[in-house]
Amino acid sequence: MKKIILTGDRPTGKLHLGHYIGSLKNRINLQETGDFEQYIMIADVQALTDNAKNPELIKNSVFEVAMDYLSVGIDPKKSVIFIQSQIPELTELTTYFMNLVTLSRLERNPTVKQEIKQKHFEKSLPVGFLNYPISQAADILGFKADYVPAGEDQLPMIEQTREIVSSFNAIYGKTFDNPEPIIPEGKFARRLPGIDGNAKMGKSLNNAIYLSDDEKTLHSKVMSMYTDPTHIKISDPGHVEGNMVFLYLDVFGEDKEKISELKKQYKKGGLGDVVVKNYLFEVLNCLLKPIREKRKYYENRPELVKKIVFEGNSKAREVVQQTLADVRKKIGIDYFN
Protein backbone atom coordinates (compact mmCIF):
# COMPACT_ATOMS: atom_id res chain seq x y z
CA MET A 1 0.00 0.00 0.00
CA LYS A 2 1.17 3.51 -0.80
CA LYS A 3 2.19 5.74 2.09
CA ILE A 4 -0.18 8.61 2.76
CA ILE A 5 0.72 12.30 2.81
CA LEU A 6 -1.47 15.04 4.25
CA THR A 7 -0.53 18.67 3.98
CA GLY A 8 -2.23 22.01 3.62
CA ASP A 9 -2.37 25.78 3.75
CA ARG A 10 -4.62 28.33 5.37
CA PRO A 11 -6.43 30.27 2.64
CA THR A 12 -5.77 33.85 3.71
CA GLY A 13 -4.48 35.17 0.38
CA LYS A 14 -2.67 34.15 -2.77
CA LEU A 15 0.44 32.00 -2.44
CA HIS A 16 3.89 33.55 -2.80
CA LEU A 17 7.51 32.55 -3.47
CA GLY A 18 7.98 31.59 0.19
CA HIS A 19 5.21 29.00 -0.19
CA TYR A 20 6.78 27.81 -3.44
CA ILE A 21 10.23 27.17 -2.01
CA GLY A 22 8.98 26.08 1.42
CA SER A 23 6.31 23.59 0.45
CA LEU A 24 4.86 23.62 -3.08
CA LYS A 25 8.10 22.49 -4.75
CA ASN A 26 8.39 19.68 -2.22
CA ARG A 27 4.83 18.55 -2.91
CA ILE A 28 5.40 18.44 -6.64
CA ASN A 29 8.55 16.34 -6.15
CA LEU A 30 6.68 13.97 -3.82
CA GLN A 31 3.81 13.78 -6.30
CA GLU A 32 6.15 12.91 -9.16
CA THR A 33 7.77 9.98 -7.31
CA GLY A 34 4.43 8.18 -7.60
CA ASP A 35 5.19 6.54 -4.23
CA PHE A 36 2.55 8.37 -2.20
CA GLU A 37 -1.12 9.10 -1.99
CA GLN A 38 -1.00 12.85 -1.45
CA TYR A 39 -3.88 14.90 0.01
CA ILE A 40 -3.56 18.67 -0.09
CA MET A 41 -6.01 20.54 2.08
CA ILE A 42 -7.20 24.11 1.81
CA ALA A 43 -7.60 24.70 5.55
CA ASP A 44 -10.51 27.14 5.61
CA VAL A 45 -11.79 25.93 8.99
CA GLN A 46 -8.38 26.59 10.50
CA ALA A 47 -8.15 29.96 8.74
CA LEU A 48 -11.42 30.93 10.41
CA THR A 49 -9.94 30.33 13.87
CA ASP A 50 -8.18 33.69 13.65
CA ASN A 51 -10.35 35.29 10.97
CA ALA A 52 -13.84 34.61 12.26
CA LYS A 53 -14.80 38.24 11.71
CA ASN A 54 -13.35 38.32 8.22
CA PRO A 55 -15.01 35.41 6.41
CA GLU A 56 -14.88 37.21 3.04
CA LEU A 57 -11.09 36.94 3.01
CA ILE A 58 -11.25 33.19 3.52
CA LYS A 59 -14.05 32.69 1.02
CA ASN A 60 -12.24 34.70 -1.63
CA SER A 61 -8.93 32.95 -1.04
CA VAL A 62 -10.07 29.33 -1.25
CA PHE A 63 -10.20 29.14 -5.04
CA GLU A 64 -7.18 31.45 -5.44
CA VAL A 65 -5.16 28.90 -3.49
CA ALA A 66 -6.66 26.05 -5.55
CA MET A 67 -5.59 27.87 -8.73
CA ASP A 68 -2.13 28.46 -7.30
CA TYR A 69 -1.82 24.72 -6.62
CA LEU A 70 -2.89 23.79 -10.14
CA SER A 71 -0.68 26.45 -11.73
CA VAL A 72 2.53 25.29 -10.07
CA GLY A 73 1.93 21.73 -11.17
CA ILE A 74 -0.12 19.96 -8.53
CA ASP A 75 -1.81 17.45 -10.81
CA PRO A 76 -5.33 16.43 -9.78
CA LYS A 77 -4.76 13.03 -11.38
CA LYS A 78 -1.89 12.41 -8.98
CA SER A 79 -2.75 14.45 -5.86
CA VAL A 80 -6.08 15.19 -4.18
CA ILE A 81 -6.91 18.86 -3.58
CA PHE A 82 -9.80 19.42 -1.15
CA ILE A 83 -11.39 21.94 1.21
CA GLN A 84 -11.34 21.26 4.95
CA SER A 85 -14.88 22.53 5.68
CA GLN A 86 -16.35 20.07 3.20
CA ILE A 87 -15.31 17.14 5.40
CA PRO A 88 -17.47 17.52 8.54
CA GLU A 89 -16.03 14.27 9.95
CA LEU A 90 -12.81 16.18 10.64
CA THR A 91 -14.73 18.36 13.09
CA GLU A 92 -16.25 15.31 14.75
CA LEU A 93 -12.80 13.76 15.16
CA THR A 94 -11.55 17.04 16.66
CA THR A 95 -14.27 16.79 19.30
CA TYR A 96 -13.17 13.32 20.43
CA PHE A 97 -9.52 14.41 20.52
CA MET A 98 -10.36 17.49 22.61
CA ASN A 99 -11.03 15.18 25.56
CA LEU A 100 -7.46 13.87 25.40
CA VAL A 101 -5.59 17.19 25.63
CA THR A 102 -5.34 19.53 28.60
CA LEU A 103 -5.71 23.27 28.45
CA SER A 104 -2.21 23.77 29.83
CA ARG A 105 -0.79 21.52 27.10
CA LEU A 106 -2.37 23.73 24.43
CA GLU A 107 -1.01 26.84 26.12
CA ARG A 108 2.52 25.44 25.92
CA ASN A 109 2.57 25.08 22.10
CA PRO A 110 5.42 27.39 21.00
CA THR A 111 3.98 28.20 17.56
CA VAL A 112 0.59 29.04 19.05
CA LYS A 113 2.25 31.14 21.78
CA GLN A 114 4.05 33.16 19.13
CA GLU A 115 0.90 33.61 17.06
CA ILE A 116 -1.08 34.76 20.11
CA LYS A 117 1.44 37.59 20.51
CA GLN A 118 1.47 38.47 16.81
CA LYS A 119 -2.30 38.56 16.63
CA HIS A 120 -2.70 40.43 19.95
CA PHE A 121 -4.88 37.65 21.32
CA GLU A 122 -3.36 37.85 24.85
CA LYS A 123 -6.50 39.29 26.43
CA SER A 124 -9.15 37.86 24.10
CA LEU A 125 -8.06 34.45 22.96
CA PRO A 126 -10.70 32.61 20.91
CA VAL A 127 -11.16 29.04 22.17
CA GLY A 128 -11.18 27.82 18.58
CA PHE A 129 -7.79 29.37 17.91
CA LEU A 130 -6.13 27.79 20.95
CA ASN A 131 -7.72 24.53 19.87
CA TYR A 132 -6.42 24.52 16.30
CA PRO A 133 -3.51 22.16 16.99
CA ILE A 134 -6.09 19.54 18.00
CA SER A 135 -8.05 20.21 14.84
CA GLN A 136 -4.81 19.87 12.87
CA ALA A 137 -4.16 16.52 14.57
CA ALA A 138 -7.62 15.46 13.36
CA ASP A 139 -6.69 16.56 9.80
CA ILE A 140 -3.59 14.41 9.92
CA LEU A 141 -5.10 11.38 11.67
CA GLY A 142 -8.39 11.54 9.76
CA PHE A 143 -6.30 10.45 6.78
CA LYS A 144 -4.08 8.16 8.87
CA ALA A 145 -1.23 10.07 7.24
CA ASP A 146 2.28 8.64 7.39
CA TYR A 147 3.97 11.90 6.41
CA VAL A 148 3.26 15.59 6.84
CA PRO A 149 5.40 17.88 4.66
CA ALA A 150 5.37 21.25 6.35
CA GLY A 151 7.54 24.12 7.52
CA GLU A 152 9.52 24.02 10.73
CA ASP A 153 6.87 26.04 12.58
CA GLN A 154 4.52 23.07 12.16
CA LEU A 155 6.68 20.67 14.20
CA PRO A 156 4.80 21.44 17.44
CA MET A 157 1.54 20.43 15.70
CA ILE A 158 3.02 17.08 14.75
CA GLU A 159 4.33 16.64 18.27
CA GLN A 160 0.80 17.30 19.57
CA THR A 161 -0.58 14.82 17.05
CA ARG A 162 1.80 12.13 18.26
CA GLU A 163 0.70 12.66 21.85
CA ILE A 164 -2.91 12.25 20.77
CA VAL A 165 -2.00 9.04 18.93
CA SER A 166 -0.48 7.62 22.05
CA SER A 167 -3.35 8.49 24.39
CA PHE A 168 -6.08 7.50 21.91
CA ASN A 169 -4.42 4.13 21.30
CA ALA A 170 -3.90 3.57 25.03
CA ILE A 171 -7.52 4.24 25.94
CA TYR A 172 -9.49 2.87 22.97
CA GLY A 173 -7.10 0.34 21.44
CA LYS A 174 -4.55 0.62 18.64
CA THR A 175 -6.04 2.84 15.94
CA PHE A 176 -3.40 5.30 14.71
CA ASP A 177 0.30 5.26 13.82
CA ASN A 178 2.64 8.16 14.47
CA PRO A 179 2.96 10.58 11.54
CA GLU A 180 6.42 11.85 10.51
CA PRO A 181 7.16 15.40 9.39
CA ILE A 182 8.99 16.13 6.13
CA ILE A 183 10.87 19.43 6.49
CA PRO A 184 12.16 21.06 3.29
CA GLU A 185 15.92 21.13 2.73
CA GLY A 186 17.87 24.30 2.14
CA LYS A 187 18.65 27.15 4.50
CA PHE A 188 15.94 29.51 3.28
CA ALA A 189 13.39 26.89 2.29
CA ARG A 190 12.14 26.96 5.87
CA ARG A 191 11.56 30.66 5.79
CA LEU A 192 12.20 32.92 2.80
CA PRO A 193 12.75 36.57 3.84
CA GLY A 194 10.63 39.27 2.24
CA ILE A 195 11.91 41.56 -0.52
CA ASP A 196 12.50 44.24 2.14
CA GLY A 197 14.82 42.00 4.15
CA ASN A 198 12.24 41.24 6.86
CA ALA A 199 12.70 37.68 8.17
CA LYS A 200 9.30 36.58 6.90
CA MET A 201 7.53 37.08 3.59
CA GLY A 202 3.87 37.87 4.03
CA LYS A 203 0.85 39.76 2.91
CA SER A 204 0.53 41.87 6.04
CA LEU A 205 4.12 43.06 5.64
CA ASN A 206 3.54 43.91 1.98
CA ASN A 207 6.89 42.35 1.04
CA ALA A 208 5.88 39.29 -0.96
CA ILE A 209 6.29 38.23 -4.57
CA TYR A 210 3.15 36.31 -5.53
CA LEU A 211 3.11 33.37 -7.91
CA SER A 212 0.40 35.22 -9.80
CA ASP A 213 2.24 38.58 -10.09
CA ASP A 214 2.43 39.77 -13.69
CA GLU A 215 5.74 40.54 -15.38
CA LYS A 216 5.54 44.27 -14.71
CA THR A 217 4.75 43.81 -11.02
CA LEU A 218 7.54 41.26 -10.68
CA HIS A 219 9.99 43.67 -12.32
CA SER A 220 9.09 46.58 -10.10
CA LYS A 221 9.22 44.39 -6.96
CA VAL A 222 12.68 43.09 -7.88
CA MET A 223 13.87 46.65 -8.58
CA SER A 224 12.66 47.70 -5.11
CA MET A 225 14.46 44.88 -3.28
CA TYR A 226 16.63 45.56 -0.26
CA THR A 227 20.33 45.27 -1.17
CA ASP A 228 23.30 46.83 0.62
CA PRO A 229 22.72 50.30 2.02
CA THR A 230 26.50 50.95 2.11
CA HIS A 231 26.81 50.24 -1.63
CA ILE A 232 26.13 53.76 -2.81
CA LYS A 233 28.30 54.29 -5.86
CA ILE A 234 28.81 51.50 -8.39
CA SER A 235 32.52 51.56 -7.64
CA ASP A 236 31.96 50.99 -3.90
CA PRO A 237 32.66 47.47 -2.66
CA GLY A 238 29.33 45.80 -1.77
CA HIS A 239 28.11 43.16 0.69
CA VAL A 240 26.31 40.05 -0.44
CA GLU A 241 25.37 38.84 3.06
CA GLY A 242 21.97 40.19 4.05
CA ASN A 243 21.52 41.40 0.48
CA MET A 244 18.14 40.09 -0.65
CA VAL A 245 19.02 40.08 -4.35
CA PHE A 246 21.92 37.69 -3.79
CA LEU A 247 19.96 35.69 -1.24
CA TYR A 248 17.18 35.13 -3.79
CA LEU A 249 19.75 34.28 -6.48
CA ASP A 250 21.18 31.63 -4.14
CA VAL A 251 17.71 30.20 -3.59
CA PHE A 252 16.28 30.39 -7.12
CA GLY A 253 19.27 30.68 -9.49
CA GLU A 254 20.60 27.61 -11.24
CA ASP A 255 23.78 28.97 -12.79
CA LYS A 256 25.87 28.81 -9.61
CA GLU A 257 29.06 29.72 -11.47
CA LYS A 258 27.60 32.93 -12.84
CA ILE A 259 26.22 33.82 -9.41
CA SER A 260 29.57 33.34 -7.71
CA GLU A 261 31.21 35.47 -10.43
CA LEU A 262 28.64 38.25 -9.83
CA LYS A 263 29.25 38.04 -6.07
CA LYS A 264 32.99 38.39 -6.56
CA GLN A 265 32.56 41.45 -8.74
CA TYR A 266 30.01 43.00 -6.40
CA LYS A 267 32.26 42.57 -3.36
CA LYS A 268 35.22 44.08 -5.21
CA GLY A 269 33.19 47.06 -6.39
CA GLY A 270 32.23 48.11 -9.90
CA LEU A 271 29.02 46.13 -10.24
CA GLY A 272 25.76 48.06 -9.96
CA ASP A 273 22.63 46.81 -8.19
CA VAL A 274 20.54 47.25 -11.32
CA VAL A 275 22.61 44.72 -13.28
CA VAL A 276 22.21 42.09 -10.58
CA LYS A 277 18.53 42.90 -10.16
CA ASN A 278 17.94 42.52 -13.87
CA TYR A 279 19.54 39.11 -13.73
CA LEU A 280 17.37 38.10 -10.74
CA PHE A 281 14.30 39.32 -12.63
CA GLU A 282 15.24 37.03 -15.53
CA VAL A 283 15.70 34.07 -13.17
CA LEU A 284 12.40 34.62 -11.37
CA ASN A 285 10.48 35.39 -14.53
CA CYS A 286 11.73 32.15 -16.03
CA LEU A 287 10.26 30.31 -13.02
CA LEU A 288 7.01 32.28 -12.84
CA LYS A 289 6.16 32.65 -16.52
CA PRO A 290 4.86 29.12 -17.07
CA ILE A 291 3.04 29.28 -13.70
CA ARG A 292 1.40 32.56 -14.74
CA GLU A 293 0.34 31.09 -18.09
CA LYS A 294 -1.14 28.00 -16.50
CA ARG A 295 -2.98 30.25 -14.05
CA LYS A 296 -4.58 32.18 -16.92
CA TYR A 297 -5.87 28.87 -18.24
CA TYR A 298 -7.58 28.06 -14.94
CA GLU A 299 -8.74 31.64 -14.32
CA ASN A 300 -10.65 31.37 -17.58
CA ARG A 301 -12.20 28.08 -16.51
CA PRO A 302 -13.63 28.57 -12.99
CA GLU A 303 -16.08 25.69 -13.50
CA LEU A 304 -13.19 23.31 -14.17
CA VAL A 305 -11.41 24.42 -10.98
CA LYS A 306 -14.64 23.92 -9.02
CA LYS A 307 -15.08 20.46 -10.50
CA ILE A 308 -11.51 19.42 -9.63
CA VAL A 309 -11.91 20.51 -6.01
CA PHE A 310 -15.42 19.04 -5.77
CA GLU A 311 -14.09 15.66 -6.87
CA GLY A 312 -11.16 16.05 -4.47
CA ASN A 313 -13.60 16.69 -1.63
CA SER A 314 -15.45 13.44 -2.21
CA LYS A 315 -12.27 11.36 -2.52
CA ALA A 316 -10.94 12.90 0.68
CA ARG A 317 -14.23 12.54 2.52
CA GLU A 318 -14.44 8.82 1.78
CA VAL A 319 -11.09 8.26 3.45
CA VAL A 320 -12.01 10.27 6.56
CA GLN A 321 -15.42 8.57 6.79
CA GLN A 322 -13.67 5.21 6.99
CA THR A 323 -11.44 6.48 9.77
CA LEU A 324 -14.46 7.79 11.67
CA ALA A 325 -16.28 4.47 11.36
CA ASP A 326 -13.26 2.85 12.97
CA VAL A 327 -12.98 5.58 15.64
CA ARG A 328 -16.67 5.32 16.64
CA LYS A 329 -16.33 1.57 16.90
CA LYS A 330 -13.20 1.84 19.04
CA ILE A 331 -14.88 4.33 21.37
CA GLY A 332 -18.00 2.17 21.45
CA ILE A 333 -20.54 4.63 20.08
CA ASP A 334 -21.38 2.65 16.95
CA TYR A 335 -24.69 1.66 18.59
CA PHE A 336 -26.60 0.69 15.48
CA ASN A 337 -24.00 -1.27 13.54
Among 70, 93, 134, 150, binds ligand TRP (CB under 6 A): 150
Stretch that binds ligand TRP, among 38-46, 186-194, 227-235, 278-286 (CB under 6 A): 38-46
Question: What minimum distance in Å lies between the beta carbon of 19 and ligand TRP?
Answer: 9
Q: Is 6 in the site for ligand TRP (CB under 6 A)?
A: yes
Q: Which helix (H) or strand (E) holds 222?
A: helix 215-223
CA dihedral 241, 243, 247, 252 (to 10 degrees): -150
Decide whether 26 or 207 has the Cβ nearer to ligand TRP: 26
Q: Is 10 in the site for ligand TRP (CB under 6 A)?
A: yes
Q: Is 16 in the site for ligand TRP (CB under 6 A)?
A: no
Decide whether 138 or 284 has the Cβ nearer to ligand TRP: 138
Q: Is 126 helix (H, G, I), strand (E, B) or coil?
A: coil
Say how far apart CA 51 and CA 129 lie, in whole Å. 9
Contact 23/183 with Cβ under 8 angstroms? no
Question: What minimum distance in Å lies between the beta carbon of 158 and ligand TRP?
Answer: 8
Decide whether 97 or 246 has the Cβ nearer to ligand TRP: 97
Among 4, 17, 21, 140, binds ligand TRP (CB under 6 A): 140
What single DSSP character describes residue 23? Answer: I
Say how far apart CA 252 and CA 71 lie, in whole Å. 18
Say how far apart CA 216 and CA 288 lie, in whole Å. 12
Q: Is 8 in the site for ligand TRP (CB under 6 A)?
A: yes
CA dihedral 127, 129, 134, 137 (to 10 degrees): 160
- Residues 6 or more apart from 227 whose CB is under 8 A from it? 238, 243, 244, 245, 273, 276, 277
Contact 39/267 with Cβ under 8 angstroms? no
Question: What minimum distance in Å lies between the beta carbon of 7 and ligand TRP?
Answer: 5
Strands (E), the chain: 3-9, 36-42, 79-83, 147-149, 180-182
- Residues 6 or more apart from 234 whose CB is under 8 A from it? 269, 270, 271, 272
Decide whether 135 or 207 has the Cβ nearer to ligand TRP: 135
Q: Is 9 in the site for ligand TRP (CB under 6 A)?
A: yes
Q: Is 7 in the site for ligand TRP (CB under 6 A)?
A: yes
Q: Is 46 in the site for ligand TRP (CB under 6 A)?
A: yes
Contact 44/58 with Cβ under 8 angstroms? yes
Question: What minimum distance in Å lies between the beta carbon of 171 and ligand TRP?
Answer: 23
- Cα-based distances in Å from 49 to 66, 219, 321: 20, 36, 24
Stretch that binds ligand TRP, among 72-80, 136-144, 200-208, 240-248 (CB under 6 A): 136-144
Beta-bridge mates of residue 37: 4
Interaction with ligand TRP in 263-302: which residues (CB under 6 A)? none
Question: What minimum distance in Å lies between the beta carbon of 137 and ligand TRP?
Answer: 9
Q: Is 43 in the site for ligand TRP (CB under 6 A)?
A: yes
Residues binding ligand TRP: number (CB under 6 A):
14
Q: Which helix (H) or strand (E) holds 282?
A: helix 273-299
Decide whether 10 or 277 has the Cβ nearer to ligand TRP: 10
Q: Is 136 in the site for ligand TRP (CB under 6 A)?
A: yes
Stretch that binds ligand TRP, among 5-13, 120-128, 181-189, 282-290 (CB under 6 A): 5-13
Question: What minimum distance in Å lies between the beta carbon of 148 and ligand TRP?
Answer: 5
Binding site for ligand TRP (CB under 6 A): 6-10, 41, 43, 46, 136, 139-140, 148, 150, 154
